[in-house]
Amino acid sequence: MFATPQPVALLFLIGSLPVMLWVAFTDLSRMRIPNRASVLLCALFGLGGLALWALDLWSLSAWAWRWLNLVVVLLIGMLLYFLGLIGAGDAKLAAAAAPFVAVADLGTVAMLYAAMVLIAWLLHRIARHSFGPRLWPDWTSWHSGKRFPMGVAIGATLLAYLGLAAAA
């Protein structure tokens, strides 16, 4: 069902979970995605992919070709950033997450992303207008106007994709 093999998806899911939780926290609390998070995600894909190849769980060519995803998404993200449509951190995070996704699964990931944006936006708005500011009064995302912490949706999309691929 998914082009990412189950063991590959499972190991990447385990590795990316703490990074994406960190991204969600910093994006919600400061409306910033640390560059270190994107670099860490790239390192996880790079070193993890080589380890999976060494363990004969993934092919070297499948791992190598996925780096092209990073380049394409980074270029698109830079264009969207320059047009003022997304933040620079969002563009870098999406690019760092792109190699984890098989091109054959792009349609599924697009649907997951649309759902995650909607769910994250709705939950953020509910929290923003109810308990959120009381529990975490210094979080920037409560007072950011129309801006939204997209790192939450990007991270949730990657985790959902990897989780579904691991369970398939």
pLDDT of residue 13: 98
Cα separation, 71 vs 52, whole angstroms: 22
Task: For residue range 31-61, list pLDDT tens digits in order.
Answer: 999 999 999 999 999 999 999 999 999 999 9
H or E segment at 80? helix 67-82
Q: Tokens standing for 90?
A: 């969002």
- Give the domain ranges of the chain: 6-167
Distance linking the first and last C-alpha atoms of the chain = 7
In this structure, which amino acid lies at residue 59?
A: S
Asked if pLDDT for residue 69 goes beyond 90, the answer is yes
Would the CA dihedral through 125, 114, 148, 4 be positive or negative?
positive
Asked if pLDDT for residue 121 goes beyond 90, the answer is yes
Region 93-99 average pLDDT: 98
pLDDT of residue 1: 85
Asked if pLDDT for residue 145 goes beyond 90, the answer is no
H or E segment at 51? helix 35-54
Closest CA to 87 of 168, 32, 34: 32
